[in-house]
Amino acid sequence: MPTTLIVGATRGLGKALASDYSSRGWKVIGTARSTTAPSDSQVKHWSTGIDISKPSGPTKLAKDVKSLGPIDVTIISAGYFGLESFDDLDWDKEVTMYITSAVAPPFIVHELVKVGALKENGGKVFLISSESGSVALRHEKEGGGNYGHHGSKAAVNMVGKLLSLDLKDKGIAVGVLHPGFMRTEMTASIGFDKHWDEGGAITPEEAAKSLIEFIDTFDMKRTGEYWAPRGAADIGTSEEVLGKDLPAPLKLPY
């Protein structure tokens, strides 16, 4: 039975990924920031009290899952979006976004490797990013703003690339993924629900299905790359930057 670890499995995309993998017969390990596991989840194995914004979070996670490995697929899905504009910047929001998106992941992977929890020669690690982290895709059509969101996603893209180099000798493939614009509590909480229809927003369940299908095909030939499994349908600047009639899956430019 293959094993997957979903970091951030209590809601949104992480919850949908955990549910989909469970229905496929995988052993699923989920993490929760709270000290109790959610009662409405199919996941049987939980690492609770995991706060990845603290140095103790990755260490506790590795200790909890050490005996449950080797882990075939690790997906770091936890995220935070603090809305900003140039005229209304927020220091604390930006720090939280950078820590969650880009500081925590290398510590998580490092701790998992240190305890031998990740499968070598065939294991996979995926960082959930966003097309918003692509410097190349930024365009005057969508303008500026949201510095912490875009900057932290660009940072996690770099983290994914560097991890792919450090894990290459172990045969662990690393991918950075744009799951799509989703209809989640997070996007609704910042007022993006008004853009759901025009932006082609999908449910977390739809996003999870396309991600898992892509992950199934991912191997060392693609390690270190940045992909949108669903293509450019919800990427507002894709035509201006990359042109028309783009394929799906779509390799994104950093």
Domain 3-251 is found in CATH 3.40.50.720:
yes
Alpha helix (H) residue ranges in the chain? 12-23, 56-65, 91-98, 104-114, 147-166, 185-189, 204-217, 238-242
Tokens 């899952």 found at: 65
pLDDT at res. 210: 97
pLDDT-based confidence at residue 187 (cuts at 50, 70, 90): low
Tokens 């510095």 found at: 147
Q: Kindly report, residue by residue over 135-154, the tens digit of the pLDDT.
A: 999 999 999 999 999 999 99
**Contact of 131 with 137, CB cutoff 8 Å:** yes
Distances (CA, A) of 204 to 18, 33, 100, 180: 11, 20, 20, 9
pLDDT-based confidence at residue 214 (cuts at 50, 70, 90): very high
For residue 19, the tally of other CB atoms under 10 A from its CB is 21
pLDDT at res. 249: 98
pTM for the predicted model, two decimal places = 0.95
Structural domain boundaries in the chain: 3-251
pLDDT at res. 196: 60
- The neighbouring-strand residues paired with 7 are 76
pLDDT at res. 193: 59
Is the pLDDT at 188 greater than 60? The verdict is: no
**All residues at 6 or more sequence positions from 41 whose CB lies less than 8 Å from its CB, including other chains:** 9, 10, 15, 18, 19, 30
pLDDT at res. 156: 98
pLDDT-based confidence at residue 40 (cuts at 50, 70, 90): confident
Max Cα–Cα distance, the chain, nearest Å: 52
Is the pLDDT at 190 greater than 70? The verdict is: no
